[in-house]
Amino acid sequence: MLYSVQKSVFLIFISILSATVTLQCQTGFFQIIKGIVVDKTSQVPLAGANVILVNSDPLNGTVTDLSGNFVLKNVPSGRQSLRVSFIGYQSTDLTDLIVSSAKETVLKIELEENIYTAGEVTISSEIRKDKPLNLMALVSARSFTIEETDKYAGSYGDPARMAANYAGVLSSRDNRNDIIIRGNSSMGLQYRMDGIEIANPNHFGALGTTGGPISVINTNLLTNSDFLTGAFPAEYGNALAGIFDLKMRTGNTERREYWTQMGFNGLEFGTEGPVSRKSGSSYLAAYRYSFVDILEKLGVELDESAKYQDLSIKLNFPTKNAGTFSLIGIGGTSRIKILDSESDQEDWTFETHGEDINTGSAVLSFGISNQYFFNESTRIKTDLSFVGSNVSTQIDTFGLTSPEKFNWAGEKSTELKYTITSSLKKKIDAKNNFAFGITGDKYDVDYSDSTFFKGNYRIETDSRDLFSLLRAYSQWERRYIYRLTSYLGLNFQYLTLNSSVSLEPRAGLLWEISPLQTFNFGMGMHSQMQPRMMYYVESLDTDGKSVLSNRQLDFSKSLHFVLGYNFLIAENLRLKAETYYQHLYNIPVSESIPQYSILNEGTQYFVDRQDSLVNNGTGTNYGLELTLEKFFDRNYYFLFTGSLFQSKYKGYDGTERSTSFNCNYILNGVAGYELPLGKRKNRILILGLRMTWAGGRPYVPFDQQATVTNREVVYDWNRAYQEKYEDYLRGSFRFGIRRNEKGFNMQFYIDLQYRANYTYVYLYRIDIVTGEIVKTYKMGFYPLGVWRIQF
């Protein structure tokens, strides 16, 4: 966390200090790799699959049992590779597996059935991160490993910050993890956990946003997951920009394991193990508590008093006749106090007056699911889930002439969602896959916020209501013998609040020119409901009565078109290019502020409650993305991405302007190298580097004279998004060492950060008394350190 900052042009500082110590009660450098091998489409276990440890001498291998499970013993710790094969399926190589001496490696391996007839061709593939886990995502999608969230310098174990290294993706601010995807607002991003849509999974998050300073998601509990940035399949609805399709792993079914960790995300305790070894049931859980609060309890004085804690859990219960039952839950609470009243006058936020901010949030996502196989080709998954979020804020002001605190603004809002969803998936044959699903969301919302203005409190929201969102989808994938794959899908959604309806066709095509080159194309219509509280913003009619002038807002909608090319230059080196065009329409805009568009919201700690909006706005995003990626091999990896794009919108006046996210270009580079040292090569020197260069973001300047006259913040909308902040340049360097000894594993690393300026850190505010514009760092979170023990 950033507690005090020198106002200099640049700053180099230690942002994360990580030490990992792993302990275990074994007598050597060996460990077990175990898991299950399944059909990628049907998820049916494959009995008799071969699992071989690559480059083992003598050969070390095993065969899956009748349930598809395998146990591979005597695997040396360090980085290893597996080769998995099964008759009638494409053989698969798993590379860059990190085997720890303190923890068993548990894998779920998915094999794809070969559509070619026997004797025609032998196919071997490698599990590559450029290919998503979801077979129906043919464009703008990739999988990522959990190691990447920590391996990339400056990612801090956060999937969102890690994804900011990908083409077309940019962090909106350094002190938050909102991400801008292809010029879209971060409000268009959707998070899922094991198929369940979850609320903003971040501490100190605001309603309607998808980001925050610290993630509630604990990557220690995740497994490989997908990230989609456009033209996504029909099973994903109610999102315009992207999808984080996260997967939580199951706990170890044979051995109890524990870990503790202290650092950026707090003091953490975790455990996993079997509930019943006989049935194969397991548990997985981790709890984290604010490290900053611990420092305060130890007597350390800090400028910001931040408290947060979170809990993640998964229980898994296979049964003989009723399928597999799972329970997942993630939740967290957070609160921060920023008190000018406890500071000297020269340290107040504004020269003429100070303010005390007391704000907190809580999120909870909880779900119970059942997956049942009717036969080897047909399965159904049903989920019951609850998602809740709460925000409470109080802002008091005081001055030299009026030292008594005055309640200037406040909010207390809650959103609850109860969901039932069921999806049926059918593998018709090796060439055809079909899926159908329905979802019902029941919302229970309670909004209340107000601001004092000209002698009275101006009510912005004050409503309690119930409404539903009903959805359904159907999709079909067809694989042809000539390396051609097609996709067709249809998504439907209906909002009972105002009878908004959307029917959205989706389509995709993938052509494998050769085993090394592919072309892909995707298109689709997508829609998203407005941030829920926007439907309940109050305004006064001509008779002075309060009305909900946004209640009839329709879905925001967009058309996606994507064309891509992939070239596997070498076994571990690939080139990817994608060009895209996105047309947004039905966008809420304002007649009273014709330059306003909701497309520019979503990256602050509060979504502006604009009233009397209408669906007359449009937007356009188009660009070109290039990716050159070297997967980890021969001790090093790198990822270079570049994006050139335009992001425009039209408000009520029909004038085309840049959006708030139109920085025009983004260049990212991240690389790492591991150098073995010592006679036994049991010490590893870790080096990492990350660089980001992006154009400055447009903004709406303050109208200083009008602000002073009206004694409230007034923007100069006539100059909306004509000016830009400075270009953004940031770098991170990592240095560390990992050491393996008999029954002992230790890792230590340190990240250094460099910024050319603080454009993406500043929170610009204006003094309503003097009109002075100030740069504040309030709620500017940064990592501290990590200490990790496993046993």
Report pLDDT for 297.
81
pLDDT value, residue 363? 96
Residue 748 CA to chain centroid, in angstroms? 26
- Bridge-based pairing of strands 242-248 and 169-171 is unpaired
Q: Which helix (H) or strand (E) holds 62?
A: strand 60-63
Q: If you average pLDDT over residues 300-305, what whole number do you get?
A: 69
pLDDT, position 775:
65
DSSP character string of 115-162: -SPTTT---EEE--TTS-SSTT--SSEEEE-HHHHHHSTT-TT-HHHH
397: enclosing H helix or E strand: strand 378-399
Residue range 138-160: average pLDDT? Answer: 86
Whether 401 shows a pLDDT value over 50: the answer reads yes
Task: Inform me whether the pLDDT recorded for 4 exceeds 80.
Answer: no
Distances in whole angstroms, Cα of residue 124 to Cα of each of 108, 114, 516, 570 = 18, 10, 12, 15
For 217-229, what is the mean pLDDT? 92
For position 473, what pLDDT does the model report? Answer: 98
Query: Where is pLDDT greater, at 181 or 7?
Result: 181
- Amino acid occupying residue 717: W
Place 27 in a pLDDT band, splitting at 50, 70 and 90: very low
- 156-167: pLDDT as tens digits: 788 999 999 999
pLDDT of residue 515: 84
* β strands within 515-554, DSSP E: 517-528, 538-540, 546-548
Backbone angles phi, psi at 95, to 5 degrees: -110, 170
DSSP lists the bridge partners of residue 507 as: 488, 523
Average pLDDT value for the chain: 86
**Banded pLDDT at 505 (limits 50, 70, 90):** very high
| CA–CA distance, 424 with 440 (Å, rounded to integer) | 15
DSSP letter for each residue of 326-395: EEEEEEEEEEEEEEGGGS-GGGSSSSSEEEEEEEEEEEEEEEEEEEEESSSSEEEEEEEEEEEEEEEEEE
- Residue 364's pLDDT band, with cuts at 50, 70 and 90, is very high
The whole-angstrom separation of Cα 388 and Cα 331 is: 9
- Residues 307-322: tens digit of each pLDDT: 899 999 999 999 999 9
Instruction: Give the closest residue to 347 by CA, choosing from 4, 42, 98, 37.
Output: 4
692, pLDDT greater than 70: yes
Buried b (16+ CB within 10 A) or exposed e, 714-740: bbbbeebbeebbebbbbbbbbebbbeb
> How far is it, in rounded angstroms, from Cα 640 to Cα 623?
17
Structure confidence by residue, pLDDT tens digits, 251-286: 999 889 888 877 667 788 999 999 999 999 999 999
Looking at residue 763, its pLDDT comes to 66
- Return the SS3 of 205: coil
- DSSP H or E stretch at residue 294: helix 291-297
Region 347-353 average pLDDT = 83
pLDDT band at 1 (very low <50, low <70, confident <90, very high): very low
Which residue shows structure tokens 């009878």? 499
Q: What are the DSSP E strand ranges found in 277-323?
A: 281-289, 305-318
Distance separating alpha carbons of residues 140 and 580, to the nearest angstrom: 9
